[in-house]
Amino acid sequence: MRTCSHLWKLLRLTASISLAGLLLGACCGFREMKSCPATVNVSRKTVAILPFTEKGVETDLSRELTVGTLALLRANTKKATLVEPSTIPPDLLTPKKPLDQIASALRADVVVSVDVKSFSTRPPHSIGITRATALVSCKVYDSGKLVVLNENWKIFYPPGTFEADFAEDEMSENVMREGLRKQVCKRIAELFYKHKVPWYEDETF
């Protein structure tokens, strides 16, 4: 009988621990990661990264995003050859030629063009609400597949926040700006290499 009693207590304890684990996982959002393949395969290809722009012109922000994205690409696309933005002849950019013509002129397999439509650390007219949002246009010419990727993304910081969600705690403008900058660079760079995202996170965010 004593053995049965001990066994019953052990089963109850195990059940309690399992239930607690499930509740904790639900509260934390089950932050398992899912693997996402590269959208554009750049292995053994020459990739030209055009200088990013903000509403059609180069700005301090667009240069920061160019540098940040290049750093991620260098670290994660070892088999790709990157054409640095500073080496691209100005006559290809002003006015900007079609991406297939730029690819031909640079002998590149892939050409990446990014324009930042908006970049805000707070919603308009907000008081005490914290959420950073960027609207980014990304175009990718891939001669190998004869396709052109042309997408607009709305990107949030903190990551995983949706249209009506806001950060729980007040954050400084500098923290919000830097966080959003990193999210934008990550979103662009991850087009070109395998990566992981939280299971709940939609690739458009």
pLDDT range class, residue 21, cuts 50, 70, 90: very low
pTM above 0.85, yes or no: no
Domain range annotation of the chain: 1-30, 31-198
How deeply is 139 buried, as exposed, middle or buried, from its count of CB atoms within 10 A (0-12, 13-18, 19+)? middle
pLDDT range class, residue 12, cuts 50, 70, 90: low
Average pLDDT of the residues of the chain? 81
pLDDT over 80 (residue 200): no
* CATH class in words for 31-198: alpha beta
pLDDT range class, residue 115, cuts 50, 70, 90: very high
Per-residue pLDDT tens for 146-188? Answer: 777 999 999 999 876 555 455 555 668 888 899 999 999 999 9
pLDDT range class, residue 69, cuts 50, 70, 90: very high
Highest mean pLDDT among 15-19, 38-42, 46-50, 161-165: 46-50
pLDDT range class, residue 20, cuts 50, 70, 90: very low
The confidence score (pLDDT) of residue 2 equals 52
Per-residue H/E/C for 71-126: HHHHHHCCCCEEECHHHCCHHHECCECCHHHHHHHHCCCEEEEEEEEEEECCCCCC
Q: What angle do CA 136, 204, 35 make, to 5 degrees?
A: 125
Please give the Cα distance from 100 to 54 (Å, whole number).
Answer: 22
Tell me the two tokens of residue 202: 């939609």
Tell me the two tokens of residue 63: 């240069």
Tell me the two tokens of residue 162: 């949706």
Per-residue pLDDT tens for 91-111? Answer: 999 999 999 999 999 999 999
The confidence score (pLDDT) of residue 8 equals 47
pLDDT over 50 (residue 23): no
Q: Across the chain, which distance is largest between two alpha carbons, in Å?
A: 90
Please give the Cα distance from 113 to 151 (Å, whole number).
Answer: 11
